[in-house]
């Protein structure tokens, strides 16, 4: 076989690999499913409260009409608070304007909604939980971007939190806790990120699970987190570290779960360009080279 034939054969292998790789990646869900199911939950809550009202009225009327009014007001408040919060979340997610209230504070609705949406989505509509988590992450990211535009929080101490499954399975180096052990071979995205560790208050850590991730967050004490993970870990982590602002980047898993997962490094660079331009400018030439090497090596 001539060299030219070998070259053609290699190109064909790469092309088939690339098609297989792209076919294995499902586009994550956007904001719509989570918001629609949240409104559906509100509708059910409304029906439930109306049911309670009509079932209780005959008995309460025997005591006093004033208590009936008080009871109706309490039920109305129980409906208005979550649905009002959801209205502001919906408008902020759609318009990109920070309409949340209280500004920059805990959005309790975002803590209460996920379990209800997951329950209704999986039980009634038979939707995969990971799909709903993707949608929740999309909504959280929209709220994050809207709030940061208004300067509600900053990336002065930025923690980049990564899962260990992005490390190439052949790599012999232990990088949990000490990513400085990475030899920047370009087989995984860590090579491009390691140089940022301890640079102008940016911390890059690899966590092997939720417990270690929580410990890392506690020790790094960040003002903002850029978290990379699968839908389950990311959605749970976002709720766990609340109210620290988290921007989530979902991993691609073309080779199956928890195995040589793929991170679109350019999503990380876009984030840094926007929120830590100082580090971005300083590191981009070096990291871009390693990022391109990684993309070339992956597959
Ligand atoms: S870039 Fe290479 S040396 Fe560094 S963690 Fe990844 S596979 Fe290991």
Question: What tens digit of pLDDT does each residue of 278-290 get?
Answer: 999 988 888 888 8
Asked if the model's pLDDT at residue 176 lies above 90, the reply is no
Distance 295 CA to ligand 1 centre (A): 13
Q: Which domain holds residue 80?
A: 32-134
Whether ligand 1 lies within 6 angstroms of the CB of 183 is answered as yes
pLDDT of res. 112 = 85
pLDDT of res. 12 = 55
Total domain count for the chain? 2
Domain assignment present for residue 24? The answer is no
Indicate whether 115 and 210 sit together in one domain.
Answer: no
Domain assignment present for residue 70? The answer is yes
* 294 CA closest ligand 1 atom index: 1
Domain assignment present for residue 210? The answer is yes
**Cβ pair 121, 72 in contact under 8 A:** no
Indicate whether 77 and 209 sit together in one domain.
Answer: no
Ligand 1 probe mutation, 169, 180, 184, 295, most atoms within 8 A of CB: 184
Ligand 1 probe mutation, 162, 171, 178, 298, most atoms within 8 A of CB: 171
pLDDT of res. 164 = 93
Question: What tens digit of pLDDT does each residue of 262-280 get?
Answer: 999 999 999 999 999 999 9
Coil, strand or helix: which one is 248?
strand
For residues 298 and 260, give the distance between their C-alpha atoms in angstroms, rounded to a whole number: 9
Indicate whether 242 and 174 sit together in one domain.
Answer: yes
pLDDT of res. 11 = 57
Asked if the model's pLDDT at residue 108 lies above 50, the reply is yes
pLDDT of res. 109 = 77
Indicate whether 190 and 60 sit together in one domain.
Answer: no
Structure tokens at 183: 């030899």
Indicate whether 179 and 291 sit together in one domain.
Answer: yes
Indicate whether 74 and 191 sit together in one domain.
Answer: no
**Cβ pair 37, 121 in contact under 8 A:** yes
Residue 203's pLDDT band (cuts 50, 70, 90)? very high
Whether ligand 1 lies within 6 angstroms of the CB of 181 is answered as no
Phi, psi (rounded to 5 degrees) for 229 = -170, 180
Asked if the model's pLDDT at residue 16 lies above 50, the reply is no
For the stretch 141-145, contacts whose Cβ atoms lie closer than 8 Å and that sit 24 or more positions apart, written own/partner, are 141/247, 141/248, 142/31, 142/92, 142/93, 142/96, 143/89, 143/92, 143/93, 143/100, 143/107, 143/110, 144/245, 144/246, 144/247, 145/96, 145/247
Indicate whether 162 and 284 sit together in one domain.
Answer: yes
CATH number at residue 159: 3.40.50
**Cβ pair 158, 264 in contact under 8 A:** no
Low-confidence winner among 11-25, 93-107, 185-199, 216-230 (lowest mean pLDDT): 11-25
Indicate whether 58 and 158 sit together in one domain.
Answer: no
Domain assignment present for residue 100? The answer is yes
Indicate whether 92 and 51 sit together in one domain.
Answer: yes
Indicate whether 182 and 253 sit together in one domain.
Answer: yes
Mean pLDDT of 71-82: 94
* 183 CA closest ligand 1 atom index: 3
Domain assignment present for residue 216? The answer is yes
**Cβ pair 164, 182 in contact under 8 A:** no
pLDDT of res. 260 = 93
Ligand 1 atom 8: residue of nearest CA:
171
For residues 233 and 208, give the distance between their C-alpha atoms in angstroms, rounded to a whole number: 11
- Sheet containing strand 246-250, edge to edge, reads 202-207, 158-163, 224-229, 246-250
pLDDT of res. 286 = 83
Asked if the model's pLDDT at residue 18 lies above 80, the reply is no
Phi, psi (rounded to 5 degrees) for 228 = -120, 125
Q: Which helix (H) or strand (E) holds 277?
A: helix 277-297
For residues 202 and 256, give the distance between their C-alpha atoms in angstroms, rounded to a whole number: 30
Indicate whether 279 and 169 sit together in one domain.
Answer: yes
Domain-ending residue, one of 75, 101, 134: 134
Asked if the model's pLDDT at residue 178 lies above 60, the reply is yes
For residues 191 and 291, give the distance between their C-alpha atoms in angstroms, rounded to a whole number: 8
Whether ligand 1 lies within 6 angstroms of the CB of 242 is answered as no
Beta bridge partners of residue 249, listed in sequence order: 228
Domain assignment present for residue 177? The answer is yes
Domain assignment present for residue 126? The answer is yes
* 170 CA closest ligand 1 atom index: 7
* 166 CA closest ligand 1 atom index: 6
Query: 10 Å Cβ neighbour count for 241?
Result: 19
Asked if the model's pLDDT at residue 15 lies above 90, the reply is no
Question: What tens digit of pLDDT does each residue of 113-134 get?
Answer: 899 999 999 999 999 999 999 9
pLDDT, the chain, mean: 88
Domain assignment present for residue 20? The answer is no
Low-confidence winner among 12-21, 77-86, 178-187, 245-254 (lowest mean pLDDT): 12-21
Indicate whether 108 and 185 sit together in one domain.
Answer: no
Ligand 1 probe mutation, 165, 177, 185, most atoms within 8 A of CB: 185
Q: 89: Cβ–Cβ under 8 A, 6 or more apart, which residues?
A: 35, 38, 100, 107, 109, 110, 139, 143
pLDDT of res. 25 = 61
Q: 64: Cβ–Cβ under 8 A, 6 or more apart, which residues?
A: none
**Cβ pair 183, 176 in contact under 8 A:** no
Asked if the model's pLDDT at residue 24 lies above 80, the reply is no
Whether ligand 1 lies within 6 angstroms of the CB of 189 is answered as no
For residues 178 and 186, give the distance between their C-alpha atoms in angstroms, rounded to a whole number: 17
Q: Where is pLDDT greater, at 62 or 20?
A: 62
Whether ligand 1 lies within 6 angstroms of the CB of 220 is answered as no
Predicted structure pTM score: 0.85
Question: What tens digit of pLDDT does each residue of 155-175 get?
Answer: 999 999 999 999 999 999 999
Alpha carbon separation from 28 to 54, 146, 166, 234, 243 (Å, rounded): 42, 20, 18, 13, 24
């Amino acid at each position: 076989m001539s060299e030219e034939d070998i070259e053609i054969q290699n190109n064909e292998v790469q092309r088939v690999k690339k098609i297989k790789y792209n076919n294995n990646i499902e586009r994550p869900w956007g904001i719509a499913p989570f918001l629609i199911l949240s409104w559906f939950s509100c509708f059910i809550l409304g029906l439930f409260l109306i049911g309670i009202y009509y079932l209780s009225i005959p008995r309460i009327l025997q005591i006093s009409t004033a208590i009936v009014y008080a009871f109706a007001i309490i039920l109305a408040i129980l409906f208005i608070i979550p649905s009002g919060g959801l209205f502001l979340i919906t408008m902020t997610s759609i318009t990109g304007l920070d309409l949340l209230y209280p500004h920059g504070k805990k959005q309790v609705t975002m803590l209460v909604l996920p379990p209800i949406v997951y329950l209704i989505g999986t039980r009634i509509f038979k939707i995969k939980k990971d799909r709903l988590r993707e949608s929740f992450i999309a909504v959280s990211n929209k709220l994050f971007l809207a709030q940061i535009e208004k300067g509600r929080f900053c990336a002065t101490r930025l923690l980049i939190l990564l899962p260990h499954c992005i490390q190439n399975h052949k790599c012999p180096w232990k990088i949990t806790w000490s990513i400085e052990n990475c030899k920047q071979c370009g087989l995984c995205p860590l090579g491009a990120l390691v140089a940022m560790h301890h640079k102008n208050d940016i911390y890059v850590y690899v966590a092997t699970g939720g417990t270690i991730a929580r410990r890392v967050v506690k020790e790094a004490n960040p003002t903002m987190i850029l978290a990379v993970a699968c839908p389950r870990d990311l959605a749970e982590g976002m709720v766990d570290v609340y109210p620290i602002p988290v921007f989530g980047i979902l991993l691609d898993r073309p080779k199956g779960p928890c195995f040589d997962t793929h991170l679109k490094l350019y999503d990380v660079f876009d984030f840094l360009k926007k929120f830590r331009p100082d580090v971005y400018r300083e590191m981009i030439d070096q990291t871009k080279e390693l990022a391109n090497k990684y993309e070339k090596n992956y597959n």
